[in-house]
Structure 1
Amino acid sequence: MASDPLDSLSPVDGRYRAATEPLRSLLSEGGLIRERIRVEALWLLHLAAAVPRLPGSTLPPAVQARAEALAQEPPADAAGAVKAIEARINHDVKAVEYYVREQLSAAGAQAPTLELVHFGCTSEDINNLSYARLLAKARGVLDATLGELARELGGLAHRYADAAMLSRTHGQPASPTTLGKEIANFAARLRRARHRWTRVEILGKWNGAVGNFNAHVAALPDVDWPQVARKFVESQGLSWNAYTTQIEPHDWIGEYCDALAALNVVLIDLCRDFWGYISLGYLRQRVNEAEVGSSTMPHKVNPIDFENAEGNLGIANALLRHFSEKLPISRWQRDLTDSTVQRNLGVALGHSLIAWRSLARGLGKVAADRERLAADLDQAWEVLGEAVQTVLRAAGVPGGYERLKEFTRGRAIDAATLAAFIDGLPLPPGERARLKALTPRDYIGLAARLALEA
């Protein structure tokens, strides 16, 4: 019987169940069991073809078909059947082996063929390829959501490319930018972070109990087992790791998690900046009349999508950082600490997906308040001090910076005050006229062009 989401201990499977649905078939307990079944069946098929001298390697059509079906898509009740076996023998991977043997036996496989199931394998041969395949598939699912985010950011950057905005450095008024350019900054950062994450090489090992093909060589010493194993791993779309202990050392998972955490940091920064722009009134949120913003203050329209995203990104990164630091460490030839940790990979990726979807909702609700942007700029004529002092420098006038520091620092400056100051500068009349025509709204450099080029 399916559990009620209201009874879930984790919000990933409770409150946010719908948001994480795309990952559930991959990174749930059932997803892991099904992937282990696939790997066991794939190894039988590969071994039978690669080492045909093994007794039982010639598979009758019905057995071949059943093995191929298990390798492609195990039956709907497969995970439950494996769990029933595990409850009896208290070993999760051995339970998968027994399930596969039962399935093949039912299809007519004889004893020699059944003995090829899990041949030469340790549990970690099955596990490391299962997790590698699952994390590769999960990355594809997640990257599609990142693509949607990237397109949303790109659209906003172009839409507001020319929307002049007062910058704030150290929280204080600074040289103007455009809202589109600030969004383009995040689009560029996300693009780089996404590229780094999607390029992490996914490795696999298939070399027995301690990484030396001990059992393989004992059985058939003249077979090139490293070559057989390498072809098998690479046939899964994975990179071959020849040097391991009992476990694939998980360095690549550390890189994968670290790169994903770095990407999430970019998005945390984005959430906080957009939260701030909403607070300043630079961005307005579309109002849903049916929603309630506060249980006591009826007027509230809170930036909850950005807050929700930030919170979930923080939880994801706490786990991802732990994975990247813990998983590459294992005592001697292996300990079991990685097993329980890896079972939480889906939790971290789930919180990332929840956050990204929440962020996408938030981005879809915002619009620039151009009047509010302009009003702030009109009160910040002092930011043109940078332009004036740089023109003085370009004209070879000594002490330009010091003149503007004395004139602007800590003082309220308006258009008339600045114009009077410019009239007294030792510059050609044309340069003085050009500076007097400059307004904070115009002083955006190449921001609009850069936003459109992002």
Structure 2
Amino acid sequence: EYMHTKPLKVRFNPITAQIEPHDSYLRVFDGVKRINNILTDFAMDTWRYISDGWIKQRAVAGEIGSSAMPHKVNPIDFENAEGNFGMANAMFEFFVRKLCISRLQRDLTDSTVERNMGCAFAHSMIGYASLQKGLGKIEVNAAKITEALETTPEVLAEAYQNLLRMSNVDKPYERLKEITRGKKVTIEDFHNLAKNLDVSDEVKARLLAATPLTYTGLSGKIVEQFSAKIN
């Protein structure tokens, strides 16, 4: 749909030397490289979420798990995507360095390099396909995430700091640091702090009601605003 509404425009370049300047190539390569970098980061994060058990993978019949542990379902699609994005970007980075340089715009070293441009795009395409394949085999492990949240009440430190600042409480960071830094924190530690603060009953109620499972800050509102913009 996008391509129909905004077609790719190819313009004639009347000012050249013996070889065509490759500025437009470089813009494309840099753009695809940035996309690949973003997706590499996504693939690596997803790999970690799978490793931590926050995301589960569905087993595929006939797929090999691990050479030593056949019960494992390895995140091979995300690893494949990461590897292919790395190969593609290594080539794109070389193209960007090389194709803007020539000997007085007369040498033909660019032609040898240009013959390999398709290979970089092919690695990118394989990476995209692997990522899509991997995403089609995963699901959120809600029980594992809930367990992680319930056992890490220290994530409430941000909520408490923000509410204390809004209530003009003196040195909120230091107060939270005193009960959390280098310690195994419990939800009771936060509740005890809230009960002993000189703040309004409304603020105390908000502090005592906050839990790692329910506190999300402004993330919901930010996502809604972002979704409205892109839609």
Q: With structure 1 as the length reference, what TM-score do the two structures score?
A: 0.47
1:341 counterpart residue number: 113
1:441 counterpart residue number: 213
1:430 aligns with 2:202: yes
Separation of aligned partners in 1, 2:16 and 2:163: 63
1:261 counterpart residue number: 33
1:386 aligns with 2:158: yes
Could you tell me how far 1:243 is from its partner in structure 2? 1.4
Separation of aligned partners in 1, 2:105 and 2:118: 26
1:311 aligns with 2:76: no
What is the correspondence of 1:16-27 to structure 2 with a 5 Å cutoff?
none
SS of 2:214's partner is coil
Separation of aligned partners in 2, 1:367 and 1:346: 34
Could you tell me how far 1:314 is from its partner in structure 2? 0.4
Contact 2:87 2:123 in 1 (8 A): yes
Aligned to 1:242, which of 10, 14, 19?
Answer: 14
SS of 1:240's partner is coil
| Structure 2: stretches of 5+ with no match in the other structure | none
Aligned to 1:417, which of 163, 169, 189?
Answer: 189
Aligned to 2:61, which of 282, 289, 299?
Answer: 289
Contact 1:249 1:329 in 2 (8 A): no
Q: Work out the number of aligned pairs and report it.
A: 224
Write the letter of the residue equivalent to 1:255: R
What is the correspondence of 1:42-441 to structure 2 with a 5 Å cutoff?
238-441=10-213
What is the correspondence of 1:6-21 to structure 2 with a 5 Å cutoff?
none
| Structure 1: stretches of 5+ with no match in the other structure | 1-142, 145-197, 202-236
SS of 1:242's partner is coil
Farther-moved stretch of structure 1 (272-281 vs 443-452): 443-452
1:233 counterpart residue number: none
Could you tell me how far 1:292 is from its partner in structure 2? 1.7
Could you tell me how far 1:283 is from its partner in structure 2? 0.6
SS of 2:63's partner is coil
Contact 1:282 1:368 in 2 (8 A): yes
Separation of aligned partners in 1, 2:218 and 2:176: 23
Deviations 1:238-258 (A, max 9, x none): 212121101111111111111
SS of 1:318's partner is helix
Write the letter of the residue equivalent to 2:69: M
Higher relative contact order, chain-length normalized (CA < 8 Å, sep 6+): 2
1:96 counterpart residue number: none
Could you tell me how far 1:382 is from its partner in structure 2? 1.4
Deviations 1:300-333 (A, max 9, x none): 1100000000001000011111111111212123
Contact 2:36 2:124 in 1 (8 A): yes
Write the letter of the residue equivalent to 2:163: V
Write the letter of the residue equivalent to 1:247: I
Contact 2:179 2:189 in 1 (8 A): no
Contact 1:312 1:352 in 2 (8 A): yes
Distance 1:369 1:410, change over 3 A: same
Write the letter of the residue equivalent to 2:135: L
Deviations 1:88-130 (A, max 9, x none): xxxxxxxxxxxxxxxxxxxxxxxxxxxxxxxxxxxxxxxxxxx
Could you tell me how far 1:378 is from its partner in structure 2? 0.4
SS of 1:291's partner is coil
Could you tell me how far 1:344 is from its partner in structure 2? 0.3
Contact 2:36 2:85 in 1 (8 A): yes
Write the letter of the residue equivalent to 2:38: V
Q: With structure 2 as the length reference, what TM-score do the two structures score?
A: 0.90
Could you tell me how far 1:449 is from its partner in structure 2? 4.4
Separation of aligned partners in 1, 2:216 and 2:83: 34
CA-atom RMSD in angstroms: 2.1
Distance 1:332 1:258, change over 3 A: same
Deviations 1:349-389 (A, max 9, x none): 11000110000001111110111111111011112122112
1:140 counterpart residue number: none
SS of 1:352's partner is helix
Separation of aligned partners in 2, 1:407 and 1:389: 12
